[in-house]
Amino acid sequence: MKNLDETIKRVLSDESDVRAATAPFQAEFPYERDEEAQVTRREFCNFLGLTSAALFLGAGGFAAKAAFDARNSEILAAARVEGAEALTPNSALSFTYPTAKDSAIVIRTADGVYHAYGQKCTHLSCPVYYSREHQRLECPCHEGAFDPANGNVLYGPPPRPLDAIEIEVRDGQVWAIGRKASAGEHAG
């Protein structure tokens, strides 16, 4: 109890010490601290009204941007995945597609079929890796996992499947021919 009283006195004295130290500057730049600290219910309600407007504009903005990007989506050029033809079953290889900034991973599952996905986890964009022991794609950050056959979430916090990359085998070479967002429908 004594400690509590001392703590209260120390905290209150800090406040008055600060006020005493800043008093000369306060004279040059008057600031009604007590008045400013008061927020009336009316002001807060008006603030909530502005917040509501901002949330509405934000939702509209995201929707508009998504629709705009979908309408302007370009056809991606096919690109060969170097080294994918040498993959043994139950192994994986990282590459980039369609640009150098878009990391991706190609997996050759145990049955010999190639699958490719964007390497960014849909939770918080950590790079996923292929676990040969568990035969699944795993995210090391928050223990999410994806099915290598279709990119769907097996467990963990990721909200959506991985972005799917379309793969084609031409004359023994593996080509990436398109990329689409995780399990979403195409617009237009």
Partner 1 sequence: MQANFKPTVGSNRRSRAGLAALWQARLMMLLMVNIAQLWILAATVDAALARHFSVLIPLVIASGVCFLITLSIIRWWRPTSKKKTSSGYVRENDL
Among 8, 12, 18, 53, binds partner 1 (CB under 8 A): 53
Nearest to 125 by CA among 106, 108, 144, 100: 144
Complex with partner 1: residue 11 or 50, whichever CB lies closer: 50
Q: Using the rule CB under 8 A, is 33 a contact of partner 1?
A: no
Among 12, 18, 63, 124, binds partner 1 (CB under 8 A): 63
Q: Which residues contact 98 (CB under 8 A, 6 or more apart)?
A: 76, 77, 79, 176, 179
Q: Using the rule CB under 8 A, is 59 a contact of partner 1?
A: yes
| Stretch near partner 1 under the rule CB under 8 A, chosen from 10-18, 30-38, 60-68, 85-93 | 60-68
Q: Using the rule CB under 8 A, is 70 a contact of partner 1?
A: yes
The backbone torsions φ and ψ at residue 37, rounded to the nearest 5 degrees and listed phi first, read: -75, -15
Q: Which residues contact 85 (CB under 8 A, 6 or more apart)?
A: 172, 173, 174
Q: Which residues contact 175 (CB under 8 A, 6 or more apart)?
A: 78, 79, 80, 81, 167, 168, 169
Q: Using the rule CB under 8 A, is 48 a contact of partner 1?
A: yes
| Stretch near partner 1 under the rule CB under 8 A, chosen from 20-28, 110-118, 126-134, 176-184 | 176-184
Q: Using the rule CB under 8 A, is 20 a contact of partner 1?
A: no
Nearest to 89 by CA among 112, 107, 105, 106: 112
Q: Which residues bind partner 1 (CB under 8 A)?
A: 41-42, 44-46, 48-49, 51-53, 55-56, 58-60, 62-63, 65-67, 70, 122, 159-160, 180-187
